[in-house]
Chain A
Amino acid sequence: MSRRLFHRFHRVAVFLFILFIVVPFIPLLLWSVSAGWRWPHVLPESFSLRAWTYLFSPSSGLWESMGVSLQVAIVVTLINLLIAVPAANALARYRFWGKRGVEALMYAPLVVPPYVAIMGLHLTFIRWNVTETVAGVVLAHLVPTLPYMLRPLVISYRTLGFQWEDQARMLGASAWARFRHVVLPHLLPGIAAGVGLSLLVSLSEYLLTLLIGGGLIRTFPLLLFPFLNGGDPAIGAALSLVFAGMTAGLLITTEWLLRRCYGDSHRTQPF
């Protein structure tokens, strides 16, 4: 490809990025500081920091909820990794009796509407005595997030035969060394995708958190949803911006961490 053509492509890509990712944030930002925005004005007629002042007042409970949300999402994602790596290995590379059934069960949360399952889940959790605890909320979040972690990992495992591991074994690598230096680098793109999805799904979960957490485990959506429902566009917009910032920050951090830990040392280019 000639250099000029590349530059042109680059420009188009940057333009599209701005159009679809950055532009939608502009009205949000304007809404969050508007104190009167009526048609046909392109810009708000007057500005106020009412929404932001409220967000940073103790009444909003913003900081606590951010902490809880991050804590839950990260723990959920780590547990998902522990479950999904071996599960994906089994589902992608082994044959065993009942495999179809296990697979269907694992992916069920993707197709079964959450409302159907939620009551049974709540009932069971009450009997287990884990409602109103962070542990209970984490356990509940595993249900909708696990398939999102599993799917990319299964695909990663499918493209990995046994030959590389066999070769490593012949060269004397232990089981852990084979996993660490052969399997893991290959899985990295899948892990990155799964971790991102798992974090996102957990961060935006509402009803499960409300029911299992009983309103005591207050994640970010618990704060945000009433405002979106109630029609205070300024506070809704401000909260949405904070939420987007938090999510983006988390995703960038995890990507950076993954890249640092594995990406460079193995010269794979997962991203």
Chain B
Amino acid sequence: MKKRMIPLLFTVLVLVLGGCMGPSEGTTFSRSLLKKPWEEVVKQAKGTDIRLYMWGGDESINRYIDEWAAPRLKKQYGVKLERVPVSDTQDIINKLLTEKQAGKNKGTVDLIWINGENFHTAKEQKLLWGAFADRIPNVKRYVNRETPDIRLDFGEETQGLEVPWGKAQFVFIYDRNKVKNPPKSMAELKEWVRNHPGKFTYPAPPDFTGSAFVRQALFETTGGHKQYVRGMEDERFNRKAEKLWAYLNDLEPYLWREGKTYPESLAKLDQLYANGEVWMTMGYDAARAAGEIRKGRFPESTRTFVLDQGTLSNTHYLSIPFNAPNPAGAMVATHFLLSPDAQLTKMDPDHWGEDMALDPERLSKEDQARLKNMDRGEAILPSDKLAKHRIPEVPASVVNQLEKGWKSHVAKK
């Protein structure tokens, strides 16, 4: 008997478990909240909890949320914020995709830190709740939503589905004791590299930062970034990019190890810089150098520079997923995180050090003074200098074209 029971039991188990399957019930959230007056939203949010899903790999960012923002949000609006650490936001997008497919209308994510590819996917798959940006008073008051670097998220129209939270900008990092006159353009950089063989290199794309460096070079060698903002068809792009490949190949013999090999990640390049093997590194974060100095990794004499024609910048955003259990709480939290106080504190290198999403000109006199007097250390460029040298990102299609082209024209040549 025993011998026959096992497959039978197994079949029964499968059937029973299968029988449990069925559409899960859940409340469909009407978007009527988007039409209600703000006071109503605040009232509805009072006494609720929200969960903010965000990358959790930086101590000072975690502390800013847990120790600065959360207690104040609780005190001012009665909304309790819980931070959920994430290693890769793409995992959360996949989670939302599956939830959408399963018809799960009450998820776990109220607010998510998002941009670029992940926003693109989320928008395309309709994973976001709605155009709530217009409803947030602090966004209306302090954010200039018409500037391209806020309206477009890597070339994708945000359409109010997400609210800008902060800005990152590409900067070059150098050691002041070794580099007396940092270059101001890609042409000057080439000159500098020729005069200092072996002291410069960049991470091999598709490393995120290496890829950004190549984009930076693309803009300067082919006449500006504007032509790429809407993407470009392959044939025209390949013709344009010839000048870029020529530039990078001219550079190659003077790079670290004569360009025979490239560091495969920014972490590797940073290590070379920290060890003094190369004299420059780079980063898609204007405050990163300051952080590395504080951690003792980079020498005290580390400084940053941008190019005269500007460096890439991107904005990252907060958004509410389609199945957020508490959209009212998420809206109030967004409002709070976009307040001048929260944004200026975030900018302080003791907290996070990242540039704010607000338009400095729209701030009150006191806040403008606070911004001006903020001492972010010498390793971070002044915010008006950064703001004046900012160019927007280009769509993912251009990034792909570049990464493919770099492999065949520079790496394999």
- Spell out A's residues near B (CB within 8 Å): 34-40, 45-46, 48, 50, 54, 57-61, 90, 94-98, 102, 119, 122-124, 126-129, 131-132, 206-207, 210-211, 214-216, 218, 222-223, 225-232, 234-235
A37 contact set on B, CB distance < 8 A: 296-297
Known: A46-B296, A127-B24, A232-B57. A207 touches B91 (CB 8 A): yes
Q: Are A211 and B94 in contact (CB under 8 A)?
A: yes
Are B91 and A232 in touch, CB under 8 angstroms?
Answer: no
Q: B292 → chain A, closest Cβ, in Å?
A: 10
User: What residues on B are CB-neighbors of A214 within 8 Å?
Assistant: 95, 107-108
Asked whether B85 lies within 8 Å of A211 as measured between CB atoms, the reply is no
Instruction: Note all chain B residues with C-beta closer than 8 A to A222.
Output: 85, 87
Instruction: List, sorted by A's number, 29 A–B pairs whose CB atoms are closer than 8 Å.
Output: A35-B295, A37-B296, A39-B274, A46-B296, A50-B59, A54-B59, A57-B63, A59-B66, A60-B62, A61-B85, A94-B2, A95-B3, A96-B3, A96-B7, A119-B94, A127-B20, A127-B21, A128-B21, A131-B104, A214-B107, A214-B108, A215-B85, A215-B92, A218-B84, A218-B85, A223-B85, A230-B55, A231-B57, A232-B59
Q: Which chain A residues border B102 with CB–CB below 8 Å?
A: 123, 126-127
Find out whether the CB atom of B57 lies under 8 angstroms from the CB atom of A229. yes
User: Closest A-chain residue to B97, C-beta based?
Assistant: A119
Indicate the member of A45, A131, A234, A235 with the most B CB atoms within 10 Å.
A131
Among B21, B66, B87, B295, the residue within 8 A (CB) of A229 is B87
The complex places the Cα of A95 from the Cα of B4 at a distance, in Å, of 9
Give the residue name and chain of the B residue nearest to A55 (CB).
B59
Query: Is B316 at the interface (CB under 8 A from chain A)?
Result: no
Residues on B with beta carbons closer than 8 Å to the beta carbon of A229: 57, 87-88
The minimal Cβ–Cβ distance linking A112 to chain B, given in whole angstroms, is 18
Let me know if B59 and A216 touch, CB within 8 A. Answer: no
The answer on a CB contact under 8 Å between A230 and B21 is: no
A211 adjacent to B24 (CB under 8 Å): no
List of B residues within 8 angstroms of A102 by Cβ = 6-7, 10
CB-contact partner of A90 in B6, B21, B62, B63, under 8 A: B6
Q: Quick check: A38 and B95 within 8 Å, CB to CB?
A: no
Q: Which residue of B lies closest to A87 (CB)?
A: B6
When each residue 247-285 of chain B gets 1 if its CB lies under 8 Å from chain A and 0 otherwise, what string results? 000000000000000000001000100111000000000
Minimal Cβ-Cβ distance residue in B for A207:
B91
Select the residue from A129, A132, A210, A229 with max chain B CB neighbours within 10 A: A210
Instruction: Determine whether B124 belongs to the interface, using a CB cutoff of 8 Å to chain A.
Output: no
A97 B7 Cβ-Cβ under 8 A: yes
The reply to whether B95 and A127 contact each other, CB–CB distance below 8 Å, is: no
Q: Is B220 interfacial (CB 8 A cutoff)?
A: no
C-alpha gap A210/B63 in the complex (Å): 22
Given contacts A39-B271, A57-B63, A119-B98, 8 further A-B pairs with CB under 8 A are A35-B295, A35-B296, A50-B59, A128-B21, A210-B86, A226-B56, A227-B56, A229-B87
Q: Is the CB of A34 within 8 A of B95?
A: no
Residues of chain A with a CB closer than 8 A to B56's CB: 223, 226-227
| B67 located at the interface, meaning its Cβ lies under 8 Å from any Cβ of chain A in the complex | yes
**Looking at the complex, which one of A210, A228, A235 makes contact with B59 (CB distance below 8 Å)?**
A235
Contacts of A45 in B (CB 8 A): 296
The answer to whether B384 has its CB under 8 Å from any CB of chain A is no
Question: Which of A36, A60, A124, A227 contacts B57 (CB under 8 A)?
Answer: A227
Residues from chain B with Cβ under 8 Å of A225 in the complex: 87
Which residues of A lie under 8 Å from residue B274 when comparing CB positions?
A: 38-39
* Residues of B contacting A38 in the complex (Cβ-Cβ under 8 angstroms): 274-276, 297
Known contacts A38-B274, A45-B296, A58-B66; A216/B108 CB under 8 A:
yes
Residues of A within 8 A of B295 (CB): 35-36, 232, 234
Q: Is B23 an interface residue (CB 8 A)?
A: yes
Complex interface: chain A residues within 8 A of B275 (CB)? 38-40
**Residues from chain B with Cβ under 8 Å of A46 in the complex:** 296
Q: Do B67 and A127 have beta carbons less than 8 Å apart?
A: no
- Chain A, residue nearest B24 (CB): A129
Residue of B nearest to A122 (CB): B98
Which of chain A's residues have a CB closer than 8 A to the CB of B62?
59-60
Q: Does B53 contact A (CB under 8 A)?
A: yes
- Which residues of chain A come closer than 8 Å to B94, judged between CB atoms? 119, 211
Q: Tell me whether A123 and B267 are in contact in the complex, defined as CB-CB below 8 angstroms, given that A54-B59, A226-B86 are known contacts.
A: no
Contact status A127-B23, CB under 8 Å:
yes
When A126-B99, A206-B87, A229-B88 are in contact, do A96 and B4 touch as well, CB less than 8 Å?
yes
Contacts of A131 in B (CB 8 A): 104
Q: Which 6 A-B pairs have the closest CB atoms?
A: A230-B57, A36-B296, A226-B57, A226-B56, A39-B275, A215-B84
In the complex the two chains form, what is the Cα distance from A238 to B23 in whole Å? 44
Cβ–Cβ contact A226 & B85, under 8 A: yes
Q: How far does the Cβ of A132 sit from chain B's closest Cβ, in whole Å?
A: 6
Residue B37 is within 8 A (CB to CB) of chain A in the complex: no
Indicate with 1 or 0, residue by residue over B3-26, a CB within 8 angstroms of chain A CB atoms.
110110010000001001111100
Chain B residues near A228 (CB-CB < 8 A): 57
CB distance from B300 to the nearest CB of A (A): 10
Using Cβ atoms and an 8 Å threshold, which residues of chain B touch A210?
A: 86-87, 91, 95
From B277, which residue of chain A is reached at the shortest CB distance? A39
Q: For residue A35, which residues in chain B have a CB less than 8 angstroms away from its CB?
A: 295-296
Task: Determine the distance from Cα of A58 to Cα of B20 in the docked complex, in whole angstroms.
Answer: 40
Measured in the bound complex, the distance between the Cα atoms of B87 and A175 in whole Å is 50
Interface status of B58 (Cβ within 8 A of chain A): yes
B145 at interface (Cβ–Cβ under 8 A)? no
From residue 81 to 131 of chain B, which have CB atoms closer than 8 A to chain A?
Answer: 84-88, 91-92, 94-95, 98-99, 101-102, 104, 107-109
Q: How far is the CA of A207 from the CA of B94 in the complex (A)?
A: 11
Query: CA–CA, A126 to B323, complex, Å?
Result: 13
Contact of A126 among B24, B57, B58, B63 (CB under 8 A): B24
Q: What distance in Å separates the Cβ of A151 from its nearest Cβ neighbour in chain B? A: 18
Known: A119-B98, A229-B57. A215 touches B51 (CB 8 A): yes
Cα of A207 to Cα of B104 in the assembled complex, Å: 20
Q: Which residues of A contact B2 (CB under 8 A)?
A: 94
